[in-house]
Structure 1
Amino acid sequence: MEKVYQGDPDLAVEPAYYSGGVPVFEPTMAQFRDFYKYNKAINAYGMKSGIVKVIPPREWQTDLEGMYTDENLSKIVIKNPIVQNMNVTAGYKGVYSCQNVERQRKYNISQWKCLAQQASNMPPAHKKNRRGSSPVKAEIKHDTEPEERVHTRRRSRAKESPIINDVLRGDFNIDASEFTHDRCDELELVYWKSLGYAEPMYGADMLGSLFRDNVESWNVAKLPNLLDLMDEKLPGVNDAYLYAGLWKATFSWHLEDQDLYSINYLHFGAPKQWYLIPQSQNGKFFRLMLEIFNEDYKNCAEFLRHKTFLASPQFLERNGIKCNKIVHKQGEFMITYPYGYHAGFNYGYNLAESVNFALDDWFEFAKKTRKCECIGDSVGINHEQIYCKYKGIPYTTREEIPKAKATKRRASSDNSPDQTSKNSAGVLKKQRVAEKPPKPKPKPADTQCILCPKRLVSRMAPVQKFPATRH
């Protein structure tokens, strides 16, 4: 299997340009055809920035013709979308916690589009179209220099493909041409100013795919990667999810389950706004969020995997943390990387498709990853079994260990209340073994002053170190 999943040392790829600190790639069809090899070629850039954008070649877009038929779209069922209550965090301007409440009903894609046209789910009109309005002031800072922004806009205009426009023309879609660079800047400002007063709705985590089988390359539903070596399909991990967005629908700061890679393809509709923390800022970001949400951390050390906590780029910058950002438009891919915290929101009605994947570089992260233990359906993957399959070497489960070795192992581990067992599907399970004697009661912790702002110094959580090759 190792020969199947490998890179091409002769494939030299560089970003076409950068936008908001994010590398943007425009591969040729020859480069784009092999998903695994191309991602190996761009991996170093993504590991540094936390995310990349990939704009597919026009030849690939021809494979999408006939994909958005009434028959195919009718399969989309947006069941029990979540209503997001964004709660302002006291004492921290630009910091929120999100409470998701399911709305108990179903929508098809036509009903979802009608919902998007209700006043509460529509972005405000462009200021220049309002009577007596003054020009929009540029209040949002950008990481890019003016020259780069102009260069980016020129490339964006040049990439308006007639093929993708024809494919996406239909009653199922909206006119996304209004979402220019300046318009997105304006709406981004509105989003952060009014987020605490909104209750956006999001059709998230819907099992399914819009890709047809004839799409051989970069078909999100069947990407060639190391998760193919799992014996079981896990929703959202190696089985694609659909996401139906509306204005302000938000995905809060998080890492992927098991620190996997992820890919997100925006099928049609309004753009998404993405925010990213570079790997070099990972630890600093975690410590800041831990200080703000310390009670949540006490309940779960992996609290940032809950997709509940949000902090604005301006707040992060005030605290010395760099935040990259980029707008994701229809017909484009975004790829996130291990240890790359990301968050964002939707500019309006849209439909996206996403799934996790793994390159062989992931194994170093998999050894150190920790899962959330407070959520019953949090994902655990047996990376050791996947590694053995990848290397073509035997994998022995604990049940298959010879009795002599097992007896020796038990003798050295009788004091452990739990041991991890791994099923053939590569999914972690827990099983009980001999109980250990009760521990002596710990001494009560020293009482700390609740008014002291520096109470966390001695209790900081250790931050995962990056492999030396990742910097």
Structure 2
Amino acid sequence: MSTRSSYDDDDQTKVPRIMTFRPSYEEFKDFAGYIEYMESRGAHLAGLAKIQPPVEWVPRKGGYDIENINMTIPAPINQVFTGAHGLYQQINIQQRRQMTLRQFMEKANSELHQTPRHIDYEDLERKYWKNITYISPYYAADVKGTLSDEDLDVWNIGNLDTILNLVNTDYNIVIDGVNTAYLYFGMWKSSFAWHTEDMDLYSINYLHFGAPKTWYAIPPAYGRRLEKLANETFTENYQECNAYLRHKMTMISPKVLRQHNIPYNKITQEAGEIMITFPFGYHAGFNHGFNGAESTNFASKRWIEYGKRASICKCRSDMVKISMETFVRRFQPERYENWLLGQDFGCHPEEPGKVCAAAPPTLNVYELQESLQKAKAKGPSPQKRGCSVAANGSEPGGDAAEDNDDRASVSSYSSSRQLQPVVKIRKLPQKPIVPEPTATQNKYDFNSVAMVRVKRLWNALPCPETGVNLLNNGVVKNTKRMRFQTKVLTLDDEE
């Protein structure tokens, strides 16, 4: 699939296009230098670029015979999509049982999950959006590890020497998947929802083997348009978290983007190709079939202004938050004092006309003093990326009972721990209960009758505490959907 834009020929010249680079091995050796060269050509304006590496670069000399790859997937996720008409929410349900890579391949190639017959990439794309809510795929995402050889010294994804390493150097903190490598094993229809990278960092994704990936990308200059559409469409999510796109749950089809005048590009990544995403470049996509990719984040000096003004998800305790202190102090010393005071006024790089103060230091993110003291004794401490998930145990220093209630198995994927699939829905604080219908009512009231029946079922559920009505008027009128109350339930996998 060649690069496509969302506009007709007359308008395409106004929208930055995804560029493809074919460096020589000599050019390829200097990672930071080649990224800088790509940006000098304007590659960052599209938010995404493709690199076809030189033939001399072989990241894994042993090849990709699955029988010879000893890889265990600790917590594969089942991706369930809800929605219609091009607007979907992706719910990732983590599985309790781990899989070997061979078992995952067999599931991906099974009759249920195999890639459908198709004429070309365009035909397969139509099948994806037509059938997105049917037959939930599995995705082995955020698997710690690498498929590259240990002695690989050129573009080793697990060891990119960029300024992001200062997080480890200065704070002695390792962030899984951010300054270390993660593996992703996909199957037909497994997807990654619309998002920018944590802290709006760069990312690199190398497709080691298997079926292609389709990528959608929005030029960073138009990123606010996507946020506005998502916020207006999924208003409840936005009210709960003003950075909820970082939950990686929102899928919006190209058709809807066109309807709302949001420019985008699409491109297909094939095995042996590298994709680079740039700061504040929203991207999404799906896998064509069984494949394996490796990814991590990196940074440059140009990213610092993006990082200082990146949106932060505050509703999940395990979302990646990077203190910008070391970057401002080292690379913007003339602005450091004002930044500490919250008076570092300027513009977001993609909003040149909007002056605002950069967010003040978030030193509490890492609790630096405590971290530095512990680091001397314990060495690097891992930090998990992604949203909260149900897990065995709780975070150190937190209340175990509250922590366990806060975690849910339906969330953005993360595999930094062994995960236990449970469904936990917390009760809301007590509110006045709508009274039951009285015998004096003369007119048949569907709401009242339904309330009585639902309350009877509700009271039969095994929970020691009384539930709470979520709606002031009881049943939602004129719909078949009824939301009343919540109770904490635990569902175990079938043996």
Measured against the shorter chain, the TM-score band is 0.5 to 0.7
Distance 1:376 1:72 in 2: 38
Q: Does structure 1 residue 101 correspond to structure 2 residue 93?
A: yes
Q: Does structure 1 residue 34 correspond to structure 2 residue 34?
A: no
**Residue 305 of structure 2 is aligned with which of 364, 385, 410?**
364
Q: Does structure 1 residue 51 correspond to structure 2 residue 48?
A: yes
Cα deviation 1:201-246 (Å, max 9, x = unaligned): 1011111111112211111110111111122211011011100101
Distance 1:46 1:288 in 2: 25
Distance 1:82 1:340 in 2: 25
Q: Provide the alpha-carbon RMSD of the alignment.
A: 2.8
Distance 2:43 2:197 in 1: 14
Cα deviation 1:109-167 (Å, max 9, x = unaligned): 211111112111112123xxxxxxxxxxxxxxxxxxxxxxxxxxxxxxxxxxxxxxxxx
What secondary structure is seen at the aligned counterpart in 2 of 1:224? coil
Paired residues of 1:78 and 1:244 also in contact (CA < 8 A): no
Instruction: Please state how far the C-alpha of 1:68 moved relative to its aligned partner.
Output: 3.8
Q: Does structure 1 residue 217 correspond to structure 2 residue 154?
A: yes
What secondary structure is seen at the aligned counterpart in 2 of 1:59? coil
Instruction: Please state how far the C-alpha of 1:316 moved relative to its aligned partner.
Output: 0.5
Distance 1:419 1:188 in 2: 44
Residue of structure 1 equivalent to 2:453? none
Structure 2: give runs of 5+ residues left out of the alignment: 6-16, 338-359, 384-396, 398-495
Instruction: Please state how far the C-alpha of 1:79 moved relative to its aligned partner.
Output: 1.7
Instruction: Please state how far the C-alpha of 1:390 moved relative to its aligned partner.
Output: 5.8
318-327 or 419-428: which moved more?
Answer: 419-428
**Residue 83 of structure 1 is aligned with which of 74, 78, 86?**
78
What secondary structure is seen at the aligned counterpart in 2 of 1:321? coil
Distance 1:124 1:259 in 2: 35
Residue of structure 2 equivalent to 1:125? 117
Paired residues of 1:86 and 1:99 also in contact (CA < 8 A): yes
Letter in 1 for 2:222: Q
Residue of structure 1 equivalent to 2:269? 328
Paired residues of 1:201 and 1:249 also in contact (CA < 8 A): yes
Paired residues of 1:83 and 1:101 also in contact (CA < 8 A): yes
Cα deviation 1:244-294 (Å, max 9, x = unaligned): 101000111011111111110101000011000111211111111111011
Structural mapping, 1:402-417, within 5 Å? none
Q: Per the alignment, do residues 209 and 197 of structure 1 end up closer, same or farther by CA in structure 2, a change over 3 Å counting?
A: same
Paired residues of 2:60 and 2:147 also in contact (CA < 8 A): no
Distance 2:77 2:267 in 1: 25
What secondary structure is seen at the aligned counterpart in 1 of 2:112? helix
Q: Per the alignment, do residues 205 and 32 of structure 1 end up closer, same or farther by CA in structure 2, a change over 3 Å counting?
A: same
What secondary structure is seen at the aligned counterpart in 2 of 1:60? coil
Residue of structure 2 equivalent to 1:9? none
Paired residues of 1:46 and 1:336 also in contact (CA < 8 A): no
Distance 2:180 2:48 in 1: 21
What secondary structure is seen at the aligned counterpart in 2 of 1:343? strand
Instruction: Please state how far the C-alpha of 1:387 moved relative to its aligned partner.
Output: 4.2
Paired residues of 1:229 and 1:389 also in contact (CA < 8 A): no
Q: Does structure 1 residue 188 correspond to structure 2 residue 131?
A: no
Q: Does structure 1 residue 288 correspond to structure 2 residue 225?
A: no
Distance 1:419 1:267 in 2: 37
Paired residues of 1:206 and 1:241 also in contact (CA < 8 A): yes
Structural mapping, 1:1-80, within 5 Å? 20=5, 21-44=17-40, 45-61=42-58, 64-66=60-62, 68=64, 73-74=69-70, 76-80=71-75
Residue of structure 1 equivalent to 2:183? 242
Instruction: Please state how far the C-alpha of 1:71 moved relative to its aligned partner.
Output: 8.5
Identity over aligned pairs, percent? 38
What secondary structure is seen at the aligned counterpart in 1 of 2:208? strand
TM-score, normalised via structure 1 length: 0.66
Q: Per the alignment, do residues 227 and 297 of structure 1 end up closer, same or farther by CA in structure 2, a change over 3 Å counting?
A: same
Distance 2:65 2:255 in 1: 42
- Give the number of the structure with larger relative contact order, counting CA–CA contacts within 8 Å between residues 6 or more apart: 1
What secondary structure is seen at the aligned counterpart in 1 of 2:295? strand
Residue of structure 2 equivalent to 1:154? none
Q: Per the alignment, do residues 71 and 269 of structure 1 end up closer, same or farther by CA in structure 2, a change over 3 Å counting?
A: closer
Letter in 2 for 1:263: I
What secondary structure is seen at the aligned counterpart in 2 of 1:58? coil
Q: Does structure 1 residue 350 correspond to structure 2 residue 350?
A: no
Paired residues of 1:67 and 1:211 also in contact (CA < 8 A): no
What secondary structure is seen at the aligned counterpart in 1 of 2:56? helix
Structural mapping, 1:143-182, within 5 Å? none
Cα deviation 1:393-447 (Å, max 9, x = unaligned): 9x99xxxxxxxxxxxxxxxxxxx9x98353548999xx9xxxxxxxxxxxxxxxx
Residue of structure 2 equivalent to 1:379? 320
Distance 2:181 2:30 in 1: 19
Paired residues of 2:66 and 2:101 also in contact (CA < 8 A): no
Q: Per the alignment, do residues 109 and 86 of structure 1 end up closer, same or farther by CA in structure 2, a change over 3 Å counting?
A: same
Q: Does structure 1 residue 227 correspond to structure 2 residue 222?
A: no
Cα deviation 1:84-117 (Å, max 9, x = unaligned): 110015xxx1110011111221222211111112
Paired residues of 1:226 and 1:390 also in contact (CA < 8 A): no
Distance 1:56 1:46 in 2: 16
Q: Per the alignment, do residues 390 and 208 of structure 1 end up closer, same or farther by CA in structure 2, a change over 3 Å counting?
A: farther
383-392 or 275-284: which moved more?
Answer: 383-392
276-285 or 236-245: which moved more?
Answer: 276-285
Distance 1:35 1:419 in 2: 30
Instruction: Please state how far the C-alpha of 1:386 moved relative to its aligned partner.
Output: 3.6
Distance 1:28 1:53 in 2: 15
Distance 2:79 2:35 in 1: 34
Distance 2:66 2:140 in 1: 20
Distance 2:62 2:159 in 1: 19
